[in-house]
Amino acid sequence: MSKIKFGTDGWRALIAEDYTFDNVRVCAQATARYMHESNTAHKGIVIGYDTRFASEAFARTAAEVLAGNGIRTYLCDRAAPTPTISFSILDKQAGGAIIITSSHNPASWNGFKFRTDYAGAAPPEVLTRLEKYTEDIGQAAQDVKQTTSEQARRDNLLVEFNPMPNYMAKIASLVDVQAIKDAGISVVVDAMYGAGIGYFPAILAGGNTRVFEVNNVRNPLFPGMHNPEPIAQNLAALQAGVLQNQADIGLANDGDADRIGVMDEHGQFINQLQVYALLLLYLLEVRGQRGPIVKTVTTTAMANKLAKIYNIPVFETSVGFKYVGPKMAETGAIMGGEESGGFGFAGHVPERDGVLAGLFLLDLMIKLKKTPSQLIDHLYSIVGPHFYDRIDIHMDAMRRDDTLARVKASKPSSVAGIKVISIDTLDGFRYSLEDGGWLLIRFSGTEPLARIYTETTHAEKVADILADGRRIAGL
């Protein structure tokens, strides 16, 4: 049995190589053990899945294992976004959820996410326990308790349900949906062949606003894109749709619809750091909300500037919603987010929700009567222009320790001619710069990969800062 490791958001592996029915059974049995030991098994569990190859079969297998352990299982009867499944934990007052999804990974991958009873990503200590339990179980078939779907139904341990209606009702209570319907704007949505297919058209039906949905059929191969991640290089269909329909905005969700990607009315990509700042501005300026915010170390300094203007606290975490979600719950944050395009909001689940984030952006456009490009100009009039980029560098795994030591020993006084004012190591090595920007060097814990990020107020410095990051790392 290959080692099952829960990363920033669950276990992911190649289908048929490591991602097998046997290993899904092991993960499900580990989940059952955790729920019994944490006294949440009596509340039951929600199990959902995305549109990837055989996801529904893997989900049913997991359901049969949980039911075999005497845990009542609420199994989604269709593919659903991760935030929809997470909301169902609260809706069913369940003890947690299993989500069969590999989010934005390429087509050959699938995954196993676990959500605890607070309806957000399981914190690191829970994932560590699940990993330990999978090691204990191994491939010992006698340790996995599995029943059949038919028997589970007879025992009232398996209930199938449609998670969409109650989630949609919740969403409608969080944003002025009627105003968006009445606005008469034109929206192109790229569902990326994923679990979010049909959500925006259903929510915004019946008004003057038009929604054009592309890539809106299930196709586990994700044709026309490298992977279902809503970043510029994967959004050719969205860009074409915006231009052809002369749309006001383009929105994209990743494979499990917990992330958002945005294009303006000209078909220009709005990066994830800009989106974080726009969503925060919406909460502060349009909704009048006040309270803490949570951001990962890779997320925009514009959030800190807005927080200073509006006198609200900022909490920073390591990368991953397994850190952001618990910190949101702990601090009562109005918003949490990360560089990958995942954003969560108060009054909802402490979970990324790409559908709600998209609706908030539409409401921001309508309430301020501005196009997306005008919203960026408005944002920059408050915090100044900011420019962002990131490079991922594959490196020799044998050199990882040497490279890490090299970066740790480096104490540059400047980067690309901009003074370094502080260095922190919360998650990687981040160099805060005098212009209010930053350079970050992070190493993947699961791959021989270095990621170098920057955000700066000088557009002409982006490439030079990234080049200096490579120099510091010797890559």
Q: What's the rounded Cα separation, in Å, for the pair 62 and 113?
A: 12
Please give the helix or strand (H or E) that residue 135 lies within, else none: helix 124-137
How far from the centroid of its chain's Cα atoms is residue 134's Cα?
Answer: 25
Give the pLDDT score at 140.
Answer: 60
Give the pLDDT score at 142.
Answer: 66
How far from the centroid of its chain's Cα atoms is residue 59's Cα?
Answer: 20
**3-state secondary structure at position 395:** coil
Provide the token pair at 106. Answer: 């390429």
Give the pLDDT score at 394.
Answer: 87
Give the pLDDT score at 139.
Answer: 59
Q: Which residues pair with 189 in a beta bridge?
A: 213, 251
Per-residue pLDDT of the chain (475 residues; tens, 9 = 90+): 568 998 878 899 999 999 999 999 999 999 999 999 999 999 999 999 999 999 999 999 999 999 999 999 999 999 999 999 999 999 999 999 999 999 999 999 999 999 999 999 998 999 999 999 999 887 565 689 999 999 999 999 999 999 999 999 999 999 999 999 999 999 999 999 999 999 999 999 999 999 999 999 999 999 999 999 999 999 999 999 999 999 999 999 999 999 999 999 999 999 999 999 999 999 999 999 999 999 999 999 999 999 999 999 999 999 989 899 999 999 999 999 999 899 999 999 999 999 999 999 999 999 999 999 999 999 999 999 999 999 999 888 788 888 999 999 999 999 999 999 999 999 999 999 999 999 999 987 666 789 999 999 999 999 999 999 999 998 8
Give the pLDDT score at 399.
Answer: 83
Give the pLDDT score at 8.
Answer: 74
Phi-psi region of 396 (alpha: psi -120 to 50; beta: other; left: phi over 0): beta
Give the distance between the most distant pair of CA atoms in the chain: 70
B/e letters for 211-232, b = 16+ CB within 10 Å, e = fewer, are bbbbbbeeebebeebebbbbbe
- The closest alpha carbon to 105, from 10, 171, 174, 239, belongs to 10
Contact (Cβ atoms closer than 8 angstroms) between residue 295 and residue 316: yes
- Using alpha carbons, list the distances in angstroms from residue 419 to 6, 434, 439, 442, 465: 38, 5, 11, 20, 12
Give the pLDDT score at 401.
Answer: 86
- Using alpha carbons, list the distances in angstroms from residue 188 to 91, 212, 244: 30, 5, 10
As assigned by CATH, the class of the 11-163 domain is: alpha beta
387-473 to CATH, choices 1.10.8.100, 1.10.8.640, 3.30.310.50, 3.40.50.2300: 3.30.310.50
Listed by start position, the domains of the chain span 11-163, 175-383, 387-473
Q: Does domain 175-383 have CATH number 3.40.120.10?
A: yes
Tell me, yes or no, if the two domains 11-163 and 387-473 fold the same way. no
Q: Which residues pair with 49 in a beta bridge?
A: 100
B/e letters for 432-446, b = 16+ CB within 10 Å, e = fewer, are bbebbbbbbbbbeee
**3-state secondary structure at position 116:** strand
